[in-house]
């Protein structure tokens, strides 16, 4: 009987450990999301011009890319002024990664994992391979059909509500940066 109690106690501690890990992950994701939203807001306020051959940082402004140098063409703290450069900046990555694309080189697909739509949190991204990436902020309705996101697909950076699967919308896949999960 004692052995049964010990096994039950160990199992209960294991369940508590899993709950703590889950709470710890939620806290990391929330902290990461808040930092990503703050960085995204700096670009939204600064208003860089969309240009896949440009780099930007609010402190120094726009510079050209250096494709012969660093991955992504921009030297930190500058990031490429396109959708994937914007997400790379918001995530605090060391370089500007590209939008995931089939057969591509280093891209955001290398450093993310697909998550369920219901698991989306501030700082996660919405990806359409080979086309576009948005930075998710939050759901704005109970049914989770409308969401607030930052989007840098053209000038200026947008911060607005989008409708999941709405007219003209791409079919996005939710992803989370591996550095927080």
Residue range 107-131, pLDDT digits in tens: 999 999 999 999 999 999 999 999 9
The model's pTM is: 0.86
Residues 6+ apart with CB under 8 A from 180: 25, 28, 29, 32, 123
Summarize pLDDT for 2-53 with one digit per residue, the tens. 333 333 333 333 433 445 558 888 898 899 999 999 999 999 999 999 999 9
- Give every CB contact of residue 107 below 8 A, 6+ residues apart in sequence: 84, 97, 98, 99, 100, 101
Instruction: Please report, for the chain, the start and end positions of each structural domain, with discontinuous segments joined by +.
Output: 2-180
């Amino acid at each position: 009987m004692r052995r049964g109690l010990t096994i039950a106690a160990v199992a209960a501690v294991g369940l508590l450990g899993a709950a703590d890990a889950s709470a710890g992950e939620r806290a990391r994701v929330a902290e990461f999301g808040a930092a990503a939203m703050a960085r995204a807001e700096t670009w939204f306020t600064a208003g860089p011009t969309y240009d896949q051959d440009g780099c930007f940082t609010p402190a120094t402004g726009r510079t050209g890319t250096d494709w012969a140098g660093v991955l992504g063409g921009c030297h930190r703290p500058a990031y490429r002024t396109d959708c994937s450069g914007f997400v790379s900046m918001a995530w605090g990555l060391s370089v500007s990664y590209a939008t995931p694309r089939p057969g591509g080189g280093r891209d955001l697909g290398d450093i993310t994992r697909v998550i369920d739509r219901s698991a989306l949190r501030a700082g996660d991204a919405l990806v359409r391979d080979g086309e576009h990436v948005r930075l998710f902020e939050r759901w704005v309705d109970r049914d989770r059909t409308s969401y607030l996101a930052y989007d840098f697909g053209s000038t200026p950076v947008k911060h607005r509500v989008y409708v999941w699967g709405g007219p003209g919308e791409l079919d996005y896949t939710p992803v989370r940066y591996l550095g927080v999960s």
